[in-house]
Homo-oligomer: A and B are copies of this chain.
Amino acid sequence: MDFQLNKLVIFGVGLIGGSFALALREAGVVREIVGVGRTAGNLAEALRLGVIDRAAVDVASAVQDADMVLLAMPVGQMGSVMQAIAPHLGARTVVTDAGSTKCDVVALARRHLPGHLARFVPAHPIAGAEKSGAAAASAELYRRRNVVITPLPEIDPAAARTVRALWEACGATVREMTPQAHDEVFAAVSHLPHLLAFALVEDIASRSNSEELFGYAASGFRDFTRIAGSSPEMWRDICLANRTALLKELEVYQAQLDRLQAMLEQADGAALEQVFNHASAARNKWIAENNNN
């Protein structure tokens, strides 16, 4: 890489922000990493583990001379953090985020960072987040993962190139989409499955014989519901932020369930087998082509 960041400021030094820090440090492309966060204990841990060089107490001075600011807090805090940094951003500072939804982040940026849109690069690293906190951060997290960036029409191409180069330095593949296309794709392959998994566990957990039912659940149930162990706060925010696309996906899925229901009612084994065959072949093909998932 033909450049180095002098100073990177990370808001939210958890799994996502912390892993970005560790990977860039390992790649040797950043001189100083400053952490800002709600939880003093987590920041102290990030310092102790060498994820950040120092924890900032004053947002104004932390941000002022930064080359880059990464917003890696829960999406629900995005607006207030943007408001807090807006008056202190240097003209050349690149701002990026790591949120799971993009249309809402773009809307917040238009509202709170209207003078900085040329240097704001919305981004979404596609990496699992079962564990959380700085202690879970790893320089390896983004290796061979996708990162989607959704630059605005106002973008300064140099700012987009910087963000792209940094994610590539983490070992990720960067792909570009519009915020709308991003939110539609992830409603289908991520947000809907999370909603379905939460719904199934809730369905079981709210029954009077839930203890007995959980007692017989096995590895298939465990894997199907793994994502229902995710952060309720984070998923509330994602569902609300992307509810238009998610509602559309939910409707399509319910129509699919209606079709299967009709096949079951008619005991139409041939039709069921055709669906199962098609799905299982598609799934096995995907796995074969994505061993690293």
Residues of A bordering B, CB below 8 Å: 126-128, 145-146, 148, 185-186, 188-190, 192-206, 210, 212-233, 235-237, 239-240, 243, 246-247, 250-254, 256-257, 260-261, 264-265, 267, 269, 272-273, 275-280, 282-284, 286-287, 293
Interface centre among A145, A237, A250, by most B CB within 10 Å? Answer: A250
Given known contacts A195-B260, A224-B226, A264-B243, is B218 in contact with A253 (CB within 8 Å)?
no
Complex CA–CA separation, A236 to B274 (angstroms)? 9
A272 touches B239 (CB 8 A): yes
**Lowest 3 A-B CB distances belong to which pairs?**
A232-B276, A205-B282, A201-B279
Q: Could you pull out 27 A-B pairs where Cβ atoms are within 8 angstroms?
A: A128-B219, A146-B215, A185-B213, A185-B216, A189-B217, A190-B217, A190-B220, A193-B224, A197-B224, A199-B260, A202-B275, A222-B287, A222-B293, A223-B226, A225-B283, A229-B283, A229-B284, A229-B287, A230-B280, A232-B273, A233-B273, A235-B276, A236-B272, A239-B264, A240-B269, A247-B261, A247-B265
Contacts of A261 in B (CB 8 A): 247, 250-251, 254
Quote the shortest CB–CB distance from A287 to chain B (angstroms).
7
Contacts of A213 in B (CB 8 A): 185, 188-189
Q: Which residue of B146, B199, B240, B256 is within 8 Å of A203 (Cβ)?
A: B256
B203 touches A252 (CB 8 A): yes
A250 touches B278 (CB 8 A): no
